[in-house]
Every structure is written in structure tokens, then in C-alpha cells.
Amino acid sequence: MINLGNKKIESYYELSEEVKNWTSFNFSEVGNYDFTGILELFKGVLNNLEKYSIEHDFRELEGFFEESEILCLKKILSLIENK
């Protein structure tokens, strides 16, 4: 279990739901979106996958992402690759 603000998160599903609706680490900044902050979380996930996953784990990706999520990943990759 982890505490996020005054919420107790007890599952990966609950943590995922919190991240989906997260806008800023500073809870007093209602309405502000911290793009850099969410990217730091994304980088943390990527670094975790690189460090701990094995090739076999990636087989679970098939059918895992929704179309809108795939489009977002493609957009990110396109912007990175065109630098």
C-alpha cells in the first residue's frame, strides 16, 4: 500500500486510475497540467521495464493497449525520431 496525498492506494488498478487523472504534483494547483511531471513518471516506467523485464515479458503487449494509447505512443515516437 502507498499513500498518494490523502488517498491510500492498494492495487495497481487504483494507482493506474490515479495516474490517468493526475494533473499536477502540487495538489493546490487545480486546473494546471504538469506535462513535464507526467513525462517523468513515464520515463520511470520505461526505465523500470528496461531494468527488470525480460524478452518473454513483452509477449504480454499483444492486445494490451487500446487504439488511443497506441496512437499516443506513435505520436511520442514520431516526435522523438524526427529530432
- The pLDDT tens digits of the residues spanning 28-38 come to 656 788 888 89
Whether residue 12 is predicted with pLDDT greater than 70 in this model: the reply is: yes
Strand partners of residue 4: 7
In this prediction, residue 29 carries a pLDDT of 59
Query: What's the pLDDT tens digit per position in 18-63?
Result: 889 888 877 565 678 888 889 999 999 999 999 999 999 999 999 9
Task: Identify the CA nearest to 16 among candidates 51, 37, 41.
Answer: 41
Terminal-residue alpha carbon distance, the chain: 40
Stated pTM of the model: 0.78
